[in-house]
Amino acid sequence: MILVVHSSPKKQGNLERLVALTAQSSGHDYDMIRLADLTIHPCTGCVQCARSKRCVQGDDMHAVYPRLEQIDGLILGGVNYNGRVNSLAHVFMERLFPLYHQTPTLRNLPVAIVAVGGEAPEKAAEDMAGYLKNIYFCNVVGAALFLSDTPPCFSCGLGPKCPVGIPALTWKDKDLQSFTRVRKEMFLRFEDNPDVVLAARRLGETLATSIAGEWGRPRSGGGFYLPSSG
Ligand SMILES: Cc1cc2nc3c(=O)[nH]c(=O)nc-3n(C[C@H](O)[C@H](O)[C@H](O)COP(=O)(O)O)c2cc1C
């Protein structure tokens, strides 16, 4: 079983569809958690989770911890907001801390990263991959990225007029002059980009290979173990 967790607040947005394609490509059963639907508070720093491996805050993360202890692989999706992964993904990763202590539950868990950004999806991917590898010892098997070319200025209503909007700040004069209104075709869909579709498919397959691989996830959370035969 694979758990898909993503941080786009948009239902059926590019990120949600891209993580779904990645999961389908793995061939595994999967469940999806949309972080925007949950109430997850920031870590309070009390570290009471060290013994119990559970957070004292009674929010929606409580239902997520046992699921993370059962899964074979994780797909984590995030979007770039203001140059980094958005806060829903960040608070989720922060609140994985209860699973860190003593025998880290997430050690060697195969993880696939999926990221969407208007201009820099790789920033969100790097944030998520670095966090999960360096703090929780996850086995990050790869990432699929979609550069959506969609700044928030396309949906705010002021698009062509705002002097500090992305078009005014980054577009060439020639393009800006002809930008009078936001058109439907300016909202790109990852399905129209074969490279992105291929990347998601490959990532799902790679995740499946890693799950089946000779270095499987140690169920105890750590210790000495040998590759399984066959
Ligand atoms: C508040 C906000 C800030 C954003 N900042 C950035 C940014 O700094 N860099 C970037 O690449 N994209 C940025 N974006 C654009 C989103 O990453 C882009 O719209 C993406 O397609 C969202 O994916 P989704 O529609 O699947 O949620 C921002 C969007 C919002 C709403």
In this predicted model, what pLDDT tens digit does every residue of 113-135 receive, in sequence order? 999 999 999 999 999 999 999 99
Q: Which of 15, 62, 16 is nearest to 38 (CA)?
A: 62
Q: Determine, yes or no, domain membership for 219.
A: no
Instruction: Count how many domains the chain has.
Output: 2
Task: Quote the distance between the C-alpha of residue 105 and its chain's center.
Answer: 19
* CA–CA distance, 61 with 64 (Å, rounded to integer): 5
Its domain, for residue 29, covers 2-150+188-212
Q: 89 with 166, same domain?
A: no
pTM summary value: 0.92
Q: 115 with 175, same domain?
A: no
Q: 64 with 170, same domain?
A: no
Cα(83) to ligand 1 centroid in Å equals 9
Q: 121 with 181, same domain?
A: no
Cα(190) to ligand 1 centroid in Å equals 14
pLDDT at 5: 98
Q: Determine, yes or no, domain membership for 28.
A: yes
pLDDT at 20: 98
H helices present in 27-120, as ranges: 49-52, 61-70, 87-94
Q: 42 with 117, same domain?
A: yes
Task: Quote the distance between the C-alpha of residue 210 and its chain's center.
Answer: 18
Q: 207 with 170, same domain?
A: no
**Is any atom of ligand 1 closer than 6 Å to the C-beta of 79?**
yes
Q: 97 with 107, same domain?
A: yes
Query: In this structure, what token pair is assigned to residue 175?
Result: 């393009």
Q: 20 with 40, same domain?
A: yes
Local confidence band at 161 (pLDDT 50, 70, 90 cut-offs): confident
Find the range with the poorest average confidence among 40-44, 115-119, 209-213.
209-213
Q: 127 with 193, same domain?
A: yes
Task: Quote the distance between the C-alpha of residue 10 and its chain's center.
Answer: 14
Q: Is 162 helix (H, G, I), strand (E, B) or coil?
A: coil
Q: 155 with 108, same domain?
A: no
Task: Quote the distance between the C-alpha of residue 190 and its chain's center.
Answer: 16
Cα(78) to ligand 1 centroid in Å equals 10
Q: 79 with 144, same domain?
A: yes
Cα(152) to ligand 1 centroid in Å equals 6
Q: 170 with 198, same domain?
A: no
For ligand 1, atom 27, which residue shows the shortest CA distance?
A: 8
**Is any atom of ligand 1 closer than 6 Å to the C-beta of 120?**
yes
Q: Determine, yes or no, domain membership for 225.
A: no
Q: Tokens 């793995």: give the residue.
A: 26
Task: Quote the distance between the C-alpha of residue 48 and its chain's center.
Answer: 27
Task: Give percent of the chain above pLDDT 90.
Answer: 79
- Whether the CB-CB separation of 14 and 199 falls below 8 Å is answered with no
